């Protein structure tokens, strides 16, 4: 059973989709400059980044925040 979450802008958005959109928009180099985590710097890949982000809440929070800021900037 799915519950709607109208106040959660990330509801229904998968982490892989967030990461792919950010990589497409910024590229790995700029992502590394904006969020200093090793998986964006050393041999970056979607797979390794997802593995790290799923285990590390503070990094995931930063990625989700950047995604929300990017979406807001694009719609403004």
- The CA-based angle 41-50-7, given to 5 degrees, is 115
**Burial state string for 11-46 with b = 16 or more CB within 10 A and e = fewer than 16:** eeeebeebbeebbeebebeebbeebebebbeeebee
Q: What is the pLDDT of residues 26-61, one digit of tens each?
A: 999 999 999 999 999 999 999 999 999 999 999 999
pTM of the entire predicted model: 0.86
Per the domain annotation, does 57 fall within a domain? yes
Per the domain annotation, does 63 fall within a domain? yes
DSSP 12: T
CATH code of 45's domain: 1.10.720.30
- The whole-number pLDDT of residue 69 equals 94
Domain encompassing residue 58: 15-75
Q: Decide if 19 contacts 28 (C-beta within 8 A).
A: no
């Amino acid at each position: 059973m799915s519950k709607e979450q109208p106040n959660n802008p990330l509801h229904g958005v998968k982490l892989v989709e967030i990461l792919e959109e950010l990589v497409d928009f910024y590229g790995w180099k700029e992502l590394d400059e904006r969020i200093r985590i090793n998986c964006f710097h050393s041999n970056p890949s979607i797979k390794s980044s997802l593995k790290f982000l799923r285990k590390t809440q503070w990094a995931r929070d930063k990625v989700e925040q950047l995604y929300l800021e990017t979406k807001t900037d694009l719609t403004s």
